[in-house]
Amino acid sequence: MSQVNIEESWKSVLADVFETTWFEEMAAFLRAEKTAGKTIYPPGALIFQAFQLCPFDKVKVVILGQDPYHNPGEAMGLSFSVPRNVRTPQSLSNIFKELQDDLGIPVSAHGDLSAWAAQGVFLLNAMLTVEKNKPQSHQHIGWQNFTDTVIQRLSQERHQLVFMLWGNYAKKKKVLIDASKHLILEAAHPSPLARGAFFGSKHFSQANAYFSRQGIPPINWELPQ
């Protein structure tokens, strides 16, 4: 079995995955790339940060990204999130603008979404690694097998989760989710390339309204400054 540094509840839920040949091959590929001197983001200790901050039984919301940020200092293992000292990317700026319009929450001065993760917002990228300055460079090494399985396990073993699927790539994951048990919210991607189609989706208020109906505490979407 690959010695995977991942939070204990996830290690239990995904134990069979870590035994598969394809996962072993993916881990070997990443080790070889680093040995060859290639820079991989996020740093090794942060690859499973979304899992570390949000244990399996604590997940309430799943926000699915595609690729980690590929520029130095940006990727931190949480989809859409960047460290506090890093300029907020445009997609995240649009998320903050939508949050302000939806719930009246002021635009955050930083892009660190760890406080969301601590409340059960699982910020999952479909690919968990990328080579420096090469977007989607790890799209075909096996991460999608892994993260598809993660989504399926959440759908099967948990109840009353909210899945936010932004953009066509994320929307394709809808087939992995049991809509009779969970709330699935779909919208355009927050990227500027979507020309503002993301705005007005009101997913944050919809999620909290759903939790209220289920007797589940809402998410506080306002980030500590």
Give the distance, in angstroms, between the CA of residue 142 and the centroid of all CA atoms in the same chain: 17
- For residues 62 and 76, the answer to whether their CB atoms sit within 8 Å is no
**Given the residues 16, 57, 67, 178, the one annotated as active site:** 67
Q: Which residues pair with 123 in a beta bridge?
A: 63
DSSP 173-188: GGGGS-TTTSEEEEE-
Which residues, in sequence order, are CB contacts of 120 under 8 Å at separation 6+? 54, 58, 59, 60, 61, 219
Q: Does residue 67 carry a catalytic annotation? A: yes
Q: Phi then psi for 178, rounded to 5 degrees?
A: -85, 105
User: Could you give the residue numbers annotated as active site?
Assistant: 67
